[in-house]
Homo-oligomer: A and B are copies of this chain.
Amino acid sequence: MAFPIDPERDLVLERTVEVPPSFVWDAWTRPELLKRWFCPKPWSTTEAEMDLVPGGIFRTVMRGPEGQEFENVGCFLEIVPGRRLVWTGALGPGYRPRTASPTVPFVMTAIIAIEATATGGTRYRATVLHGDAASRGRHEALGFHRGWDAAFDQLVAMAPKD
């Protein structure tokens, strides 16, 4: 279905890069690749578990420079190979609602859209949906723009050179 952006509640990262769409897709969907770019340094992704079916688990563990760890568990909602990946933190594997946790400042759904450019590069758009403007604000204050941008730079830097 179409997902109109709501500027009050959504955060968006758009980039156009000279990296093939197939590489961007692989970097998002292969755990061993995802772990190399998904957290901006000095944070790292120490674990990544993905079952690429609707309702399948998407779990990551992020580790900070002082050794602090955060586990994120969600599930995939849509998988259109090479084009579109949708996942949410509001549901765990098997679509089970997740219990609100006081340590989680916001809940989000992410829609990753990948399109080929005329030159073989990728037009990339990550749309992150929140339940309300306050959740969006907390995510923004925690560094959404800088963080998602820096992580995507790491993905681009991994791509094989011509």
Q: Which residues of A contact B (CB under 8 A)?
A: 1, 3-4, 9, 51, 53-56, 77-78, 86, 88-91, 94-100, 107-109, 111, 129-132, 135
Contacts and interface: CB of A to CB of B under 8 A. Distances in A.
A113 to B, nearest CB: 13
A127 to B, nearest CB: 10
Given A1-B94, A91-B109, A94-B129, 16 more contacts: A3-B95, A88-B91, A88-B95, A88-B97, A89-B97, A90-B90, A90-B91, A90-B98, A95-B109, A96-B131, A97-B107, A97-B108, A97-B109, A97-B130, A97-B135, A99-B132
Helix, strand, loop or mixed for chain A's interface?
A: loop
Contacts of A4: 94
A91 B94 contact: no
